[in-house]
Structure 1
Amino acid sequence: MENEFVLDAACKGFPLAGKPCSLTELGERGWNLLDDTLSYPVATLRRSALTHNLAWMQDFVQRKGVALAPHGKTTMSPELFRMQLQAGAWGLTFANVHQLRVGLAAGAQRAIIANQLVSDADLDGLDGLLRQYPQARVWFLVDSLAQLARLADWGLRRQNKRCWDVLLELGIAAYRTGCRTHEQALTLAQAMAHSEVVCLGGVECYEGGLGRCDSAHDIEAVSALVRSVQTLVQQLDDQNLWGNQEVLLSAGGSAVFDLVIPMLKLQVKSRPVQGVLRSGCYVTHDHWNYARYLKLVETREGLSASLQPALEVWAMVQSVPEPGLAILSAGRRDLSYDQCMPMPVRWAAKGQSGTDALKATPDSWQVKTLSDQHAHMVFAPDGVWPQVGDRVALGISHPCTTFDKWRWMALIEEDGRISGAISTHF
């Protein structure tokens, strides 16, 4: 953000006795994840995996001939935003004006708010940000005549003649926002073309609700959406309803992002098209939900490997109260659990540090339930027993709902050395 983030005892995971420092200064402390300097639980990002994922996704979109505007809601981290932009991202995507503020402060010059703006507070806020960052270009979504009327009413009441950059959203039946039919979308586009308060820059959709982690189903469902968008885009082009000299076409969650590439590469007769993919979770990936979808992406793309999980939350074994049960010092307040329980992926015995200390967890170690502050991990009594003081890395599913539980995360090297940190701003 505008002021450098300071790590101190107010930040969960930072030692109470530790001297406050900036994110960059943390790497100069000489601390190691396994020297027990930090207070468990502690959220970490493996730097090597981050670096790999940034390069892999940028290479993917370049090969496909589209642009990348990763969804910032995943991490809400200005440090990670800057890494994504420096790696070549065209822009960033956000869900609301509050998130946009963080992205613009981090240096984004282009942004998509993949949501409808309706309230006075949001329109006032966006207007103010565009005045503060006059070089920035920001698009948001419109999906109804009612919303268009509210935009016009805001302009009248504020005596503000701003013309908003917008994308028309085509939705999915029984799912989230967006026009449900071509007729609705075409009527709305015609109204926007005659409006002085919006400039229709392109078409947006979100395919994530169609994914079932079944390639046959997902290909058919997403391809149908792509064809629907193609038909609408052609209708809009035939009637010359665009407001800009370039058309933006945008889609792309983090599960079946490869299947929307044909939509992003659609062409129109009247002007150039810029396809923009919005996948955000790639930067850290995960250990289950997106990992299983990615295996299908690898098969469809003929890849042997792709993204790597970077995010882990480390906890300490604080009690082994009975055979087959260990209690870890991390719970619902520290980890995502909306899609599945966290998964023990690595561990280090108490008192051990360095690369050799890190081992893969036994297969029988599994988190069965979470309390607010505890993970209940079962294990085979006839196998390796976790001991009080051992450290366990918990892999997660759905990084979005782990990031929002932390104000900072440590960047770690493969030997556990802490080389820096990132902040979050939810």
Structure 2
Amino acid sequence: MWPSLWPKNWVQPSARCWSADLLLDAACKSFPLAAGSLESEELAALQWNLLADDLAYPLAVLKRSALNHNLAWMQAYAARKGVHLAPHGKTTMSPELFRMQLDAGAWGLTFATVFQLAVGVHAGVRRAIIANQVLAAADLAGLRSLLQTHADLRVWFLVDSLAQLRLIEQWAVAQAVYQPFDVLLEMGVAGKRTGCRTQEEAWELAQALASSPAVRLCGVECYEGIAAQCDNDHDVRAVSDLVRRVVQVVRACDAQGLFADERILLSAGGSAVFDLVLPLLTTGDLSRPVDGVLRSGCYITHDHGHYTRYLHLMEQREGLQESLQPALEVWALVQSVPEPGQAFLSCGRRDISHDIELPMPQRVARAGVRSVDGMQPTPPDWRITALNDQHAYLQFDPAGNAPAVGDRVVLGISHPCTTFDKWRWMAVVEDDYRVCGAIHTCF
């Protein structure tokens, strides 16, 4: 590892949007080698601009105005619906972006592993959901250490089987640990991901959790994204069915006094159909108050494909004129046009998401163009047909508007998570593509 890439004193993060302690240098992919070492707070003064080719390609960038819009929009949406927001940190794994989400009003953050949780805790997170099963001895020990080190930290993780509970209990006995973990019972969907499949299975597990000395049953959780297909009729029906099943379990547990806290924690919500789980998160007529927690994560950058299609359906269901804006782009250079109809870009699997669909050309800045006004939408016949490790295959109509060597192509993505994990840093830019800061990631 290049030591200078790791930000100085990041365990005590600044309240500013961009870490003042992040040091950038040759260890950072696409950072200008001739620039030496720079702290991120110095970037704005340099007046670097992507359109001036001040940085190398490919380059992943975050548009500051879209980030700010998305942070405000999602926080306002959650407040309007009467629920808390605990964004999924696995999307970005960026302490700077975690800080922005907390500063915008997030109730807490969500993670998938104890390692991710530790990154969040160091960034200032004090309420967290691990939306996953925790059962390995090393993870249980790590979680216990974090809780003991930070007295103000609350963490809830998921349990979906008696087998998992027994492993937790065995670990607790072996370690002579008597402080129970806070847990949420997870409900699932047959044939899909984790979670109890039936009401009977969930009820048996809930009773065991409530009577176990190793855990405290604090609420119920589900993930509705596994039921969605980006078909409005199907999604409303499937997610509503899941919500009904979860509410039945919640009411049964409440009626029998199985919940350990004074407030019941109910959590759901990915980044696609989060509006459809609101009836669960606002369940009423229980014996104690409910904290409904929405866990959407990709909203902070949104995307140009997968989530955009889902959000268009949500906008229709909610009667909204607008929602989220794409904030994450990857810029690539046309490096070769070896034959009619085929060009190659300097961007490949190592640089950009491709797990859901291939990147989508959005705009082009021809060689020599130095202003946003000179950029153009890419012709509709331009499309990425394949990726190698370092190359993107750009197919186009040779009789039409062809790309040329030296052109800069702005690529849109589906599923931001798998672009973030390919970059140890990202430049933050203004709408005119001046570099104003940077973030780093901790994958």
Same fold (TM over 0.5): yes
- Deviation string 1:230-257 (CA, Å, 9 cap, x unpaired) is 1111100110000100000000011111
- 1:33 aligns with 50
Is residue 2:136 matched to residue 1:127? Answer: no
Query: Does residue 228 of structure 2 align to residue 219 of structure 1?
Result: no
- Could you say what secondary structure the match of 2:35 adopts? coil
> 1:377 aligned to 394, 398, 401, which one?
394
Matched, 1:89 2:106: yes
Q: Which residue of 1 aligns with 2:5?
A: none
One of 84, 102, 106 as aligned partner of 2:123: 106
Q: Among residues 11, 21, 40, which one is paired with 1:2 in the alignment?
A: 11
**Structure 2 counterpart of 1:136:** 153
The amino acid of 2:421's aligned partner reads D
Aligned 1:299-338 pairs, distance under 5 A = 299-338=316-355
After TM superposition, list the pairs within 5 Å mapping 1:17-416 onto structure 2: 17-416=34-433
SS in 1 for 2:33: coil
SS at match of 1:140: strand
AA paired with 1:91?
G
Query: 1: distance between equivalents of 2:284 and 2:117?
Result: 29
1:23, distance to aligned residue in structure 2 (A): 2.3
Deviation at 1:128, TM superposition (A): 1.1
CA distance in 1: counterparts of 2:219 and 2:321, whole angstroms: 35
Question: Following the alignment from structure 1 to structure 2, what is the Cα–Cα distance between the partners of residues 356 and 269?
Answer: 57
User: What is the Cα deviation at residue 26 of structure 1?
Assistant: 2.0
Question: Residue 268 of structure 1: CA displacement?
Answer: 4.2
Give the Cα–Cα distance (whole angstroms) in 1 for the partners of residues 367 and 354 of structure 2.
Answer: 27
Question: In 2, Cα distance between the equivalents of 1:23 and 1:134?
Answer: 32
Length-normalised TM-score, structure 2 = 0.94
Give a deviation string over 1:270-320, Cα, whole Å, max 9, x none.
110010000100100001100101110000000111111111000001011
Are residues 145 and 268 of structure 1, via their aligned partners in 2, closer, same or farther at CA, if it must alter by over 3 Å?
A: farther
Partner of 2:6: none
Structure 2's unaligned 5+ residue stretches are 1-9, 13-20
CA offsets 1:196-255 (integer angstroms, 9 cap, x no match): 111111000011111111110000000011111111111001100001000000000111
1:312 is matched by which residue type in structure 2?
Answer: E
Name the aligned partner's letter for residue 230 of structure 1.
V
AA matched with 2:125: A
CA positional deviation for 1:360: 1.4
Tell me if structure 2 keeps the 8 A contact 1:247–1:272.
Answer: yes
Structure 1 unaligned segments of length 5 or more: list them.
Answer: none
Distance 2:347 2:149 in 1: 41
For residue 17 of structure 1, give the secondary structure of its aligned residue in structure 2. Answer: helix
Give the RMSD, CA atoms, in angstroms: 1.1
Identity of aligned residues (%): 61
Moved more, 21-30 or 370-379: 21-30
* Alignment partner, residue 18 of structure 2: none
Task: Tell me the TM-score normalized by structure 1.
Answer: 0.98
Distance 1:132 1:343 in 2: 45
Query: What letter is aligned with 1:190?
Result: Q
Residue aligning to 2:435:
418
Superposition deviation, residue 146 in structure 1: 1.3
Equivalent-residue separation in structure 1 for 2:143 and 2:39 (angstroms): 30
| Cα offset, 1:182, TM superposition | 1.3
Asked if the contact 1:237–1:268 (Cα under 8 Å) also holds between the matched residues in 2, the reply is no
Name the CA distance, whole Å, in 1 between partners of 2:350 and 2:136. 31
Deviations 1:105-124 (Å, cap 9, x if unpaired)?
11111000000101011011
CA contact (8 A) 1:58 1:88 kept: yes
